[in-house]
């Protein structure tokens, strides 16, 4: 499918304004330059540039200078945040034999920046507490709650033990959190070669995958409680902000935790005895994975500098010509763990080219109706610091003005991935239909659709999903959990958000290591930067179209359709949880577990549980019905307005409608937030309390059920049902205003 010659109508535009918009967009998409992107990456990733480093500030000032050189109104906004760095790191096995972990990533001769050891942050997990612990080792697989259920069935406790978990299966910060909940005194996290080492491909520098000494750094802050500076929850970390004392910062870990390489992990794992790990727990090391506890006994000692560091958020603004108080915000971070060519510079350079291209268009007479704000965040890696503090600091103004936030982060080669607010699903599908894929003769939309039809590997996609991919007007987009800078915008302030990026043809194992650098990226990833250009074209087109529309192009039918699925899912989840307990109790009563006992293996049958009650889901269903009714109402009004080349739109006074649309997403917030984590206010989307990055939709309800808190679930169903009704009312208000304006 080639890009259509005859443009289809643009939602939110009249025939005339659409023609002008398409012209500007076409000019825009011709500007991003792969050679410049390559040069930016080389510059920005030339030295380690983590929070607090000289080169982090240097990069920010260079970015500022570039934006200003292009004629944009830019400035740097600073915050002062807690950012611990290692003072002492020791990991040794003290029994059955002595082994001291290397915890160093060596220089690779062909890779010029890998030897910048003086500036590199050591391998560590930020926001681990200090500790000096010794205990028997226990292998806990991914270290997620269900792994501890498996351990329970085998009579293995981690109380007083140091656990070793492999990366994967959850966001890393979940592992020490769950380990501490089960009584562990320390936590190691290692990169298993089966996941991103030699199993998926050759290791660096022969190939893109993790070499034996490579370590994944990363934050272990308890971000599902709140992200951003641990000392200033809910407010910007300005010099004058009131700060918590360190010992009241609940997002620090409860036990010391350190990431290690598979070269360091192998002797520890090989020294474990006890039960052989279940098949699903086994990784790619040439050993028998066993669980312990012991006889391996390890000593972990960690001490950190608990200093405050300055953040450098780079902000540029293009004022809107018609609706200056409606903001379209575009963001990507610039800080890295080390040199960070992939994470985040591959995304940063796309945003930079968008800014340059729009600056160019401004000089040619382009006048966006709405204000566009480019944000290049600092401090994303330790805990979404720069974006969170900025959003908290400007929360009141954002609440009034922010229409959409568009994020990107690491970018690679392959397929367009989109996650975000479902009120933007239709919009972003339309954008994707206008972007040419650089590797094939089709649009990025068609390529993504082809992938959904074909499925992965030999397994065909189920027929229902194939048919949906073929016949549904829009490809479904995923919901946002966490893991990048959209979090505060969507979950705390309620700004409709999108996260964009290409990937799927760009495997590797250098994530958060010293090898994520210019050499690696230009040898193994988007080496010609054509997908960097495609990202700039996609995100930039989206920003321009949102900023240029007469009527903000939200659509609520797809949103209601998706929320309907979520409601069905939580109903099913509640039913299944109930059936599971009934069935397990029955098996216990029938002696099934007793009959299956193997006298040579210690096993502990599961305990009998109280059968969960049936939940009253009616409030959720009533709220959903309201959402569906009002979505239909608004979409009909929008269709009426769009008829006849949008002639009704052309003469309408749309400010009131647009102002109402800006804040519809805010109606999904609840000021008291989610149970036990009030910072997270969105009632449709949240990162999971026990998944970290992975999204939980209808989180208050879903997580209450998952955690078997039936009374809470009943309460949350009522609350969330009310939120759906409120959102319906907000949509209805916009529909009425639109009918009024275009009648």
Can you give the binding site for its own copies, defined by CB under 8 A?
A: 1, 146, 149-150, 193-194, 198-203, 207, 209, 276, 278-280, 282, 284-289, 414, 437, 439-442, 446-447, 450-451, 453-454, 457-458, 460, 463, 466, 505, 579-580, 583, 587, 590-600
Between 90 and 453, CB nearer to its own copies: 453
Q: Which two tokens stand for residue 486?
A: 């959209």
| CA count, 13 A, side-chain hemisphere, 544 | 30
Give the nearer residue to its own copies in terms of CB position, either 441 or 740. Answer: 441
Q: How far, CA to CA in Å, does 172 sit from each of 128, 167, 405, 694?
A: 12, 7, 26, 11
Paired sense of beta strands 99-100 and 695-697, if any:
unpaired
Class of residue 280 by CB neighbours under 10 A (exposed 0-12, middle 13-18, buried 19+): exposed
Would you say 597 or 653 has its CB closer to its own copies? 597
Residues 434 and 479: beta-carbon distance below 8 Å: no
Nearest-approach distance from CB 54 to its own copies, in angstroms: 37
CA distance 350 to 539: 9
Closer residue to its own copies in complex, CB, 107/440 = 440
* Token output for 527: 């080496």
Vertex 194 angle, CA 192 and 200, to 5°: 130
ω into 451 cis (within 30 of 0): no
Cis geometry, peptide bond prior to residue 673 (ω within 30 degrees of 0): no
φ/ψ of 575, rounded to 5, equals: -65, -45
Q: Token pair for residue 366?
A: 């382009």
Minimum Å gap between C-beta 662 and its own copies is 37
Question: What would the two tokens of residue 282 be?
Answer: 């086994």
| Smallest distance, its own copies to C-beta of residue 446, A | 6
Strand partners, 90: 301
Of the candidates 513, 520, 663, the one whose C-alpha atom is nearest the C-alpha of residue 207 is 520
The Cα–Cα gap between 677 and 532 comes to 36
Of 161 and 263, the one with the shorter C-beta distance to its own copies is 263
Nearer to its own copies by Cβ, of 274 and 673: the residue is 274
Q: CA separation (Å) from 338 to 158, 193, 374, 537, 608?
A: 33, 21, 24, 28, 50
Query: Closest CB to its own copies among 200 and 331?
Result: 200
Q: Is 594 or 676 the residue whose CB approaches its own copies more closely?
A: 594
Shortest Å distance, C-beta 140 to its own copies: 15
Question: 381 near 337, Cβ under 8 Å?
Answer: yes
Would you say 683 or 691 has its CB closer to its own copies? 691
- Using the structure block, give the residue that is written with the tokens 């903001």: 327
Using CA atoms, how far residue 15 sits from 4, 644, 645, in Å, is: 16, 9, 5
Give, as one character, the DSSP assignment of residue 510.
-
DSSP-assigned states of every residue in 373-413: EEEEES-HHHHSHHHHHHHHHTHHHHHHHEEEEEEE----S
CB of 93 to its own copies, least distance (A): 19
Specify the pairing of strand 218-219 against strand 125-126: parallel
Q: Compare residues 239 and 457 and give the one whose CB is closer to its own copies.
A: 457
Nearer to its own copies, 280 or 305 (CB): 280
Residues 6+ away with beta carbon under 8 Å from 110: 205, 519
Q: Minimum CB separation from its own copies for residue 541, in Å?
A: 20
Nearer residue to its own copies within complex by CB, 100 or 592: 592
**3-class secondary-structure state, position 125:** strand
Q: Which is nearer to its own copies, 502 or 668 (CB)?
A: 502
Least gap, CB of 201 to its own copies (angstroms): 5
Pair 211, 198: CB distance under 8 Å: no
Q: How far is CA 371 from CA 374, 404, 568, in A?
A: 10, 11, 39
Residue with Cβ nearer its own copies (441 or 616): 441
Cβ-based neighbour number of residue 206 at 10 Å: 11
- Lookup: tokens for 458: 């030999």
Of the candidates 297, 82, 288, the one whose C-alpha atom is nearest the C-alpha of residue 188 is: 297
Q: How far is CA 294 from CA 183, 269, 290, 455, in A?
A: 16, 10, 10, 43
């Amino acid at each position: 499918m080639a890009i259509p010659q005859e443009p289809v109508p643009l939602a939110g535009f009249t025939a005339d304004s659409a023609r002008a918009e398409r012209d500007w967009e076409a000019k825009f998409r011709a500007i991003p330059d792969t050679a410049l992107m390559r040069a930016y990456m080389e510059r920005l990733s030339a030295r380690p540039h983590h929070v607090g480093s000289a080169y982090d500030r240097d990069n920010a000032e260079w970015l500022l200078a570039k934006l200003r050189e292009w004629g944009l109104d830019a400035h740097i906004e600073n915050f002062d945040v807690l950012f611990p760095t290692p003072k002492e790191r020791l990991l040794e096995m003290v029994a059955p034999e002595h082994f001291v972990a290397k915890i160093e990533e060596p220089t690779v001769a062909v890779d010029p920046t890998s030897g910048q050891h003086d500036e590199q942050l050591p391998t560590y997990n930020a926001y681990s507490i200090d500790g000096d612990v010794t205990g028997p080792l226990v292998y806990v697989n991914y270290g997620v709650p269900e792994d501890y259920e498996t351990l329970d069935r085998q009579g293995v406790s981690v109380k007083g033990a140091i656990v070793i978990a492999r990366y994967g299966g959850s966001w890393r910060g979940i592992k020490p959190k769950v380990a501490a909940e089960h009584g562990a005194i320390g936590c190691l996290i290692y990169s298993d070669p089966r996941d991103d080492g030699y199993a998926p491909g050759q290791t660096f520098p022969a190939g893109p995958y993790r070499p034996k000494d490579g370590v994944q750094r990363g934050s272990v802050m308890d971000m599902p409680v709140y992200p951003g500076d641990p000392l200033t929850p809910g407010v910007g970390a300005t010099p004058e902000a009131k700060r918590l004392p360190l010992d009241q910062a609940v997002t620090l870990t409860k036990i010391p935790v350190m990431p290690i390489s598979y070269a360091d992990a192998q002797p520890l794992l090989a020294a474990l005895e006890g039960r052989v790990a279940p098949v699903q727990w086994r990784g790619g090391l040439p050993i028998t994975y066993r669980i312990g506890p012991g006889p391996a006994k390890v000593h972990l000692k960690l001490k950190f500098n608990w200093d405050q560091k300055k953040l450098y958020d780079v902000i540029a603004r293009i004022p809107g010509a018609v609706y200056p108080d409606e903001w379209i915000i575009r963001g990507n971070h610039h800080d890295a763990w080390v040199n960070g060519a992939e994470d985040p510079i591959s995304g940063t350079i796309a945003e930079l080219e968008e800014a340059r291209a729009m600056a160019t268009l401004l000089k040619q007479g382009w006048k966006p109706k709405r204000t566009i704000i480019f944000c290049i965040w600092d401090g994303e890696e330790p805990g979404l610091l720069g974006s969170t503090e900025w959003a908290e600091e400007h929360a009141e103004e954002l609440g009034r003005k922010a229409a959409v936030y568009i994020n990107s982060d690491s970018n690679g080669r392959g397929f367009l991935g989109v996650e975000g607010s479902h009120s933007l699903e239709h919009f972003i599908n339309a954008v994707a239909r206008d972007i040419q894929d650089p590797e094939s003769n089709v649009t990025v939309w068609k390529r993504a659709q082809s992938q959904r039809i074909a499925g992965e590997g030999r397994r065909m996609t189920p027929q229902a999903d194939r048919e949906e991919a073929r016949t549904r007007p829009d490809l479904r987009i995923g919901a946002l959990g966490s893991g990048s800078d959209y979090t505060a915008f969507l979950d705390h302030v309620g700004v409709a958000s999108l996260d964009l990026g290409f990937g799927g043809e760009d495997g590797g194992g250098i994530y958060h290591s010293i090898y994520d650098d210019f050499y690696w990226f230009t040898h193994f990833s988007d080496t010609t930067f054509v997908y960097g250009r495609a990202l700039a074209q996609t995100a930039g087109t989206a920003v321009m179209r949102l900023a240029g529309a007469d009527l903000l192009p939200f659509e609520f039918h797809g949103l209601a359709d998706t929320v309907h699925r979520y409601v069905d899912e939580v109903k099913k989840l509640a039913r299944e949880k109930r059936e599971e307990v009934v069935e397990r109790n029955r098996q216990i009563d029938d002696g099934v577990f007793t009959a299956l006992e193997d006298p040579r293996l210690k096993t502990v049958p599961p305990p009998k549980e109280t059968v969960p009650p049936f939940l009253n889901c009616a409030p959720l269903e009533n709220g959903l019905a309201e959402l569906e009714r009002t979505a239909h109402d608004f979409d009909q009004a929008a269709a009426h307005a769009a008829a006849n080349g949008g002639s009704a739109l052309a003469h309408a006074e749309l400010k009131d409608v647009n102002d109402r649309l800006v804040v519809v997403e805010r109606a999904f917030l609840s000021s008291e937030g989610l149970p036990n984590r009030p910072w997270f206010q969105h009632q449709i989307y949240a990162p999971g309390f026990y998944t970290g990055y992975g999204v939980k939709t209808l989180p208050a309800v879903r997580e209450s059920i998952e955690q078997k808190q039936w009374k809470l679930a009943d309460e949350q169903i009522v609350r969330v049902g009310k939120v759906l009704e409120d959102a319906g009312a907000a949509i209805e208000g916009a529909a009425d205003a639109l009918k009024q304006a275009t009648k």
